[in-house]
Structure 1
């Protein structure tokens, strides 16, 4: 089918079908036609095809570095699909966003897989952790982030993820309302913090010197992690 062939082309040849200087190059046309077009009037089988091949499209986009247009398209895809897939199938192997980062779960992932994992964390933490969204949605996003951090075996990836997640999670926590509606969110945030801090503490000698991180860590340990 068209999605199968096109997703393979995008995944393996994205740099060949994209040009910053050619507004009519093939890649943007394919994205706009197949991935980001309006769902109104689509044949009923299209959503399932998008879900099946979305991971391949994203892999093709992630290999194009430092391009503002591509970055916008990636964020647009996350904004369009991430929450809806999280609602229906949050952590399973059929979720395209789990498939996208799953190579980073190996003992020794390669640099590309680590970079994709960290960029995905960055996009999700900046785009989806907004307290003005519904608490159930925030709770699902936090569960997803906790699942990702829990499945990572390569400790250095957790060290790299710490500055990406720390600020958005702390900001979210400080802006939360009183329990019981936010209680589950707070529990998950604490679990993620604990995972981050355990890795950082175990490998402190490998971290760049920072005066700020120990202060933040002490505050969080004293005020969050030790509160049962």
Structure 2
């Protein structure tokens, strides 16, 4: 004996003789609703939020399902996210790195006077000052602890990593070119040769 659900009442035990032309007896209709969702600090792409009772309505007065919100981050104009840390590229001129300087770094915190400014305007953000020691090399990373993103449901924050890069001018005046050519001839302008590694020394010892 094959037992199956009645295709008309769908197991409800009764059939609506004069169903609503809109819902056809389902007790629900298609529609859209805009709701506000609280996003916890620190969420990232791939995280999901569950809003209970805001999914599809249940048939014939049944409970509604849940709304699943998938998080997708937008790229930031200044910062790159790595977990709870954020990276900021700081471009400096060669003289600034050679002589040392002070630099202002934007943070994630929004300045009181910059709330209405767009995200791509650097004046929107609070800034901190850091000291760049003389002789700083490109690729050097300064770590500003606690200036990154918060962990979800935690008081712990990541760090702001400031990565030093060299800005190279694309246009020079005649005088600037002459000065650079003169500087290039000086003794300390040649990069030091890398010391030979262990395996290179080993090969030379064996005359390989």
Larger fraction in helix: 1
State the TM-score, normalized to the length of structure 1.
0.20
Larger fraction in strand: 2
Q: Highest CA radius of gyration, 1 or 2?
A: 2
